Structure 1
Amino acid sequence: MASALIALGGNVGDVRDTFTRAIPMICGMAQASLEGRSSDYATPPWGQEDQARFVNACIEIDTPLNPLTLLEVLHKVERRFGRDRTCETRWGPRTLDLDLLAFEDAEIERSDLQLPHPRLFERAFVLVPLMEIAPDRLIAGRTARAALADLSTAGIERLPPPSPN
């Protein structure tokens, strides 16, 4: 089994409900156990700023899959929630965005997969939830805690736990 860190995000529809339904789907399709789940955070849009705020979270799973197969699973889950990467605006609105942040200590440079995620240490909206579940995990020689110390967290709000139905 291998430990993988995954970022979840979205700003279209009921994103928190999407997360609630997507996480078990990820675990099922990846034959994975959920080892950690952060709180949900409301965050300002990044890259393209003229859109609705996002909701972001992170999870840690243990999976027997390899990184490329896990990435395929993540893309399948995105598609099940209405995302079509082929006809969307970069950094634009989306129902569900799943990013593979790290997979054990793998370093991969391919056109279809880069590990660790190439913009991980630039994104407070990923590092803040990641701090909850893996603050001191070394990723490319850095920790989320150390990387976040260099970034502004302005506009990032921890959301209260969802109310039970």
Structure 2
Amino acid sequence: MLAARQLGAERIIAMSRHDSRQKLALDFGATDIVTERGDEGVEKIKELTGGYGAHSVIEAVGTQESMLQAIRSTRPGDHVGYVGVSHDVTLDGQELFFSHAHLHGGPAPVRQYLPQLIDLIWTRRIDPGKVFDLTLPLDQAAYQAMDERRAIKVLLKP
């Protein structure tokens, strides 16, 4: 959401069923929140976009359901970017072909963006640290807290 806002997106739709994540999405620039999943989530996205689907979709969960929802929510001819490594996702070639969606993923060229991002943080135009809503010692199970939705992201300290 921060990136979409920085790049000038007029409408940013976040998908979340969790109050803390919804609030953070709105703080980061989301204009709409969709709580539905699967076919219902796709229909809600299409309703919000005049029946067309979203121009650009980011898939950041990495599951079969989230990948299909992302592809099906995308306006024909536009783009799905997936971040991270998907888990057991298989795509039906025929569905992908007829979706007309461009699917992009892979390691991000982080060094390319670092100078601009550091400046945005340093000048306090963005505050990405808001994602950390729980602090734990290194030896505790941070992923468990995120998996159980007790935390958005965990900051680990020695």
Where is the helix percentage greater, Structure 1 or Structure 2?
2
- By relative contact order (CA 8 Å, sep 6+), the higher-ranking structure is 1
Larger Rg: 2
Query: TM-score under structure 1 normalisation?
Result: 0.27
What TM-score results when the alignment is normalised by the length of structure 2? 0.27
